[in-house]
Chains A and B, each alone.
Chain A
Amino acid sequence: MSGAAAVRMAGIVKRFGRIVANDSADLEVASGEIHALVGENGAGKSTLMRVLAGMYPPAAGVVEIATDSGPLRDVTGWSTRQAIEAGVAMVHQHFMLVPTLTVAENLILGRELRRGLALDLRAADREVRELSERTGLRVDPSRLVSNLSVGEAQRVEILKTLYRGAKVLILDEPTAVLSPPEVGELWKVLRRLRDDGGTVILITHKLDEVIEISETITVMRAGRTVGRMRTTDSTPRTIAKMMVGRDVSLALASREPGAGSGGPDPPREATSPVSRLPSPGLRVENLTVSSPRKPNEVDGVSFTVARGEIFGIAGVEGNGQTELIEAITGLRAAASGTVSLADSSGTLRDVTTHDVRARADTGLSHVPEDRHRRGLILEYSVAENLILGQQHRFTGSANVLDRARIAGNAASRITTFDIRPPDESLPSRSLSGGNQQKVVIAREMGRDFTVLIAAQPTRGVDVGAIEFIHDQLRKARSEGKAILLVSADLVEILALSDRVAVMYGGRIVVTLPGSDASAEVLGPYMTGAQGTAA
């Protein structure tokens, strides 16, 4: 199917203030192909695609789009509306949906079907249902968007663009929020789209995905295009090298046995009577969490995470993981059950009735799943963010902030955790996603703690930073910390966890030693096909 160019961008320059996001970047995508645009976070991929989708006018360069009759048309500096009309649409990392409207209402927004003066919602509902069936993007059109999981919301975003007749579909890291079966579904949808003559541009930095789905690849680094090749001619290693500009260890690709062997033995390898009873760091017993729309978001969950252990919770998002984490960290009250944490002396303390700060003081660190909503105050400087949650420890007399200690703390964290650019006074908003996450990691792992809740710790983070964050988690394990890893990224769970549990429908449906876990074994549990009978 692939043939003539559908999209051609040449010499694109885009600046934000003093920052050059695109520095003469090029891109050419043939129609009817799936093209992977890869590069580290901050390499300028999203910016380039936003220029293509009409959200930013470029400072220099040319954007051309194939017309129906064939020849390319110069569309440099067009608007989003013009782009959508020409069939170029982008699905963003952060969704652009109206939460108070239903799926169908969101889809028809801007091109409402009318019957007389009234909206013809029934026809809309039917159309959406048909589209949903045809593309395999299954989602109930009558549900409110605010009630959808992240994965479902993404499906709605893709549906929205298809509903508007997208011929060139741009996806910005679409798999960051999906479970393996959902990723498989997405690939099917994209391939179907391609086979129908559509063009797909996929922004990603997951190299296995690039190899699996794409036909051609463009690699970006520091705002420039540094390579363009056929997927069949590349390997993850060559792509990674081109992305980062140096060799990286692709630890993710394979489990590294014994990575945590420096500390107390994880339970599955227990050999002596003493280490068979590892001291618990976090214990959750019969925890039930309610929300206004569901009485059992978390439904009687019990587990213990030993010190020196990484306990991974896998599962499709929206199965109670968020509520579980919030109940453990004190952000949400438990309906019943208890949460206990080991304090610095190793004594397990019941903290069920304690607030967020008291739990943090007991020894709980928390890398939240959404750094933009909870993890960082984006307008605050890096230094200010590096004390969030610990601000009461950075005061002198009478609650006055100790600015010298705040600056000293920032300087040391920035060095230790390699936060770039190394400027503590920059607003956190101006950092790249990977460096924002490093700020969160530096704050939560750079202080004394006994238990770490790491939720989606590498979401939207580039390869180099993933490597770094995983190393930090392994190091913390070897230092005897109890780590609860909650991730929708099964590869990550499998790469790090000593034990793996799957959450489905608010329950833990299976717990396995890490050595017995694999995508094949866990997949059925994640979709509810197995383990829910009891």
Chain B
Amino acid sequence: MARVRTHIEESILPPLVALVIAAVVGDILIIIFGQSPGDVYRQLLEGTWGNAYGFGQVIYKATTLTFTGLAVALGIRAGLFNIGAESQLASGGFLAALIGLAMPPGTPAVLAVSACLLAAAVGGGVVGAIPGALKARFGASEVIVTIMLNFVVLALLNYIVAAHIHVSETLHTPEVRAGALPRLAAVFPMFSGSAANTTFLLALATAAVVWWYLFRTRPGYELRAVGLQPDAAEYGGVRVGRVWARAMLLSGVLAGIGGLNYVLGYKHYYEEGFGTGSGFLGIAVALVGRNHPIGVVIAALLFATLSQGALAVNALVPKQMVDVLTAVVIIAVATAVPEVRRALAATRRPSGIGTAGTGNGEQATEAPRGVTVPGSRFPGARLQRAADSQFPIPDSR
């Protein structure tokens, strides 16, 4: 029981604290704009969770973010920082559209959707596998390679679309002939008009699969071992380079499948810049979600709510205010987590065990004040710092 409590405190409290901090900052900003915080937040909630259309839009946005968040989280679990979800998402969407276009109109849905799913996985996977292979083989930093590949891949896709397959007067491909996914509105009419589609269910299923993979399979055990302590993993017979390569491939696959949300579920074509910002926001989703699949889903819903809410409150305050809130949440999570943990460690009462015999004090987890813990290779700190400086505020479209 106590352990469950600890777990909850350590994994759930930091994001909650971050939300509270963001709310306070939000209050201040709203007051500066001469509005009542209560009104703005009410409007924000009504425009998102308060009506079916808004909720549908939240679901739609959360779908893409779940995929990119899972992609980043899987990488971090292996000790890798995938900043290329942006281009992996685009590449997955593009290849899915291409296959959807190539199939004749009458193709059975099961076959067409499967083919597009595979295409999206391949499209994202290839872009993810390149930095993974370079890191495994030559030790190239995945951070730099993924950032740079973003430019290369997005430019290449834009070129292909603009030069060869766009519908004239637009920057998108023609509509796919087969493989389109039904909107949620087809089953639940209340979502009518929103972009929410069945890809959301795929996202939830994918989160479950990623959880199962990470925590219930041997490759997942080895992947997390590599992320926590590569030397110990190597000692345990794990080929670290291979795990890196595999993790980057899977990370790319996850981001790539996210492209289906727009291409098959919403517009039914690939358009330049359809997912701009979603890849980067995936980093924030992973961090706030503590790199746990369930956390990622919740964080994706949170950021989707803020993104959609920005539109809902635009009449009262500039929608950029919500971007600021988003940024505050990320910064608060990135910085507050160790502090929150330390505060918890200091206040938690002893409950009888651990006094005699076991004597764990000398190895307890609290870091000595003013001293960096040697040998602590937890990648989160590095990643969270990196996220603070490199994460651009997404465009809330």
Contacts and interface: CB of A to CB of B under 8 A. Distances in A.
A and B together in one complex: yes
Interface of A: 14-23, 40-47, 50, 54-57, 79-81, 94-96, 222-223, 329, 331, 355-357, 360, 366, 368, 372-380, 384, 388-389, 391-392, 394-395, 399-401, 403, 420-421, 425, 427, 429-433, 435-436
A41 B359 contact: yes
Main secondary structure on B side of the interface with A: loop
7 contacts: A21-B360, A22-B361, A42-B363, A377-B225, A399-B219, A421-B360, A433-B362
Contacts of A79: 369-370
B34 interface: no
Nearest to B368: A55
4 closest A-B pairs by CB: A21-B361, A42-B359, A16-B364, A357-B237
Contacts of A18: 2, 348-354
B39 interface: no
B231 interface: yes
Contacts of B354: 18-20, 421
Interface of B: 2-3, 6, 216-219, 221-222, 224-225, 228-229, 231-237, 239, 345, 348-366, 368-372, 374-375, 378
A384 B359 CA distance: 22
Contacts of A57: 369
B192 to A, nearest CB: 42
A173 to B, nearest CB: 11
Given A377-B229, A380-B228, A401 B221 contact: yes
A384 B221 contact: yes
B375 A222 contact: no
B361 A96 contact: no
Contacts of B219: 399
Nearest to B358: A421
A21 B364 contact: yes
B387 to A, nearest CB: 21
Q: Which of A19, A379, A435 counts the most chain B CB atoms within 10 A?
A: A19
B237 A356 contact: yes
A42 B360 contact: yes
B374 to A, nearest CB: 5
Contact of A331 (B234, B352, B369): B234
Given A14-B361, A15-B350, A388 B355 contact: no
A392 B362 CA distance: 33
A449 B371 CA distance: 41
A389 B364 contact: no
A17 B235 contact: no
A85 B10 CA distance: 36
Contact of A376 (B216, B232, B239, B378): B232
A15 B348 CA distance: 9
B232 A40 contact: no
B363 A431 contact: yes
Contacts of B357: 222, 420
Given A18-B348, A399-B218, A400-B217, A222 B362 contact: no
A222 B355 contact: yes
Contacts of B231: 373-374
A471 B370 CA distance: 40
Q: Which of B361, B366, B374, B378 counts the most chain A CB atoms within 10 A?
A: B361
Nearest to B349: A18
B380 to A, nearest CB: 11
A215 B356 CA distance: 28
Given A356-B235, A373-B231, A425 B3 contact: yes
Nearest to B215: A401
Contacts of B222: 391
Contacts of B356: 222
A355 B236 CA distance: 11
Given A44-B359, A380-B228, A420-B357, 20 more contacts: A17-B348, A18-B351, A18-B353, A19-B350, A21-B359, A21-B361, A42-B363, A46-B362, A55-B368, A79-B370, A223-B361, A373-B229, A378-B229, A379-B378, A380-B224, A389-B237, A394-B218, A401-B218, A401-B221, A433-B362
A17 B371 CA distance: 19
A389 B235 contact: yes
Contacts of B239: 355
Q: Which of A222, A388, A395, A403 counts the most chain B CB atoms within 10 A?
A: A388
A357 B218 CA distance: 14
Contacts of A374: 229, 231-232, 234-235
B197 to A, nearest CB: 31
Contacts of A436: 363
